[in-house]
């Protein structure tokens, strides 16, 4: 590996935006954040709302978001235990920043689809 490539990789590893987009680029992350923006949800509710996500992938995604401080997990001592997930203040702030991008996507996706199909 050349010194130039090593410097580039080190810069990317230290870049806050690159690190955040790396997490947001994971398949189910944005959908989980969007679902939790409406309030706390149980795992089963998230599974129903996010079609196509296996329980394993949903659990991995939630654990990663919890580790990043974006999602909080709370469990009750009831039988059976009740586990809910919610956005932390950090997660709420991130989702607030994402709403502009979501709005932009909703407004321009038809144009993007046309460009992909070669109909610009």
Question: Is the pLDDT confidence value at 21 over 90?
Answer: no
Please give the tally of structural domains in the chain.
1
Mean pLDDT of 9-15: 78
Residue 120: its pLDDT value, please? Answer: 59
Whether 76 is covered by a domain: the verdict is yes
3-state secondary structure labels for all residues of 12-70: HHHCHHHHHHHHHCCCCHHHHHHHHCCCCEEHHHHHHHCCCCCHHHHHHHHHHHHHCCC
Whether 48 is covered by a domain: the verdict is yes
Mean pLDDT of 27-52: 93
| The model's pTM | 0.81
Is the C-alpha dihedral spanning 42, 68, 76, 39 positive or negative? Answer: negative
Whether 102 is covered by a domain: the verdict is yes
CATH number of the domain encompassing residue 54 = 1.10.10.10
Parent domain of 73 = 27-116
């Amino acid at each position: 590996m050349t010194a130039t490539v090593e410097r580039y990789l080190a810069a990317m590893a230290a870049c806050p935006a690159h690190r955040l987009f790396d997490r947001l680029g994971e398949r189910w992350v944005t959908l989980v954040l969007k679902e939790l923006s409406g309030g706390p949800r149980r795992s089963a509710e998230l599974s129903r709302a996010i079609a196509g996500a296996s329980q394993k992938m949903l659990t991995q995604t939630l654990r990663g978001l919890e580790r990043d401080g974006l999602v909080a997990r709370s469990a009750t001592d009831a039988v059976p235990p009740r586990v809910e997930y919610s956005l932390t203040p950090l997660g709420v702030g991130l989702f607030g920043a994402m709403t502009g991008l979501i709005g932009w996507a909703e407004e321009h996706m038809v144009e993007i689809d046309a460009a992909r199909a070669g109909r610009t």
